[in-house]
Amino acid sequence: MSARDRKQIGATVRRLRKQRSMTQEDLAWRAGVNTTVVGRLERGERDPRLSTITAVARGLDVKPARLLDGLP
């Protein structure tokens, strides 16, 4: 996955989280992941695991594909 793809996923997660008036801590709790994971995902620092994408999507109440919209 390219850095551009990671940044795009991160921007989507951040936008959806803020639309729901959630903090990173709120999302981490709802997704069952560590707050650090959410922060790194939003900043596009690492290639996200499929399990992370799935958990974060669940925490945002969207389908995982929504986080990957627009990727090649």
- C-alpha–C-alpha distance, residues 10 and 70, integer Å: 13
pLDDT of amino acid 42: 95
pLDDT of amino acid 71: 66
Across the range 43-70, mean pLDDT stands at 92
**Amino acid making up residue 37:** V
Domain 3-67 has CATH 2.60.40.10: no
Q: What is the pLDDT of residues 8-45, one digit of tens each?
A: 999 999 999 999 999 999 999 999 999 999 999 999 99
Full-model pTM: 0.88
Reading the block at residue 67, the tokens are 């986080």
**Amino acid making up residue 31:** A
Could you tell me if 25 and 54 are in contact, meaning their C-beta atoms sit under 8 angstroms apart? no
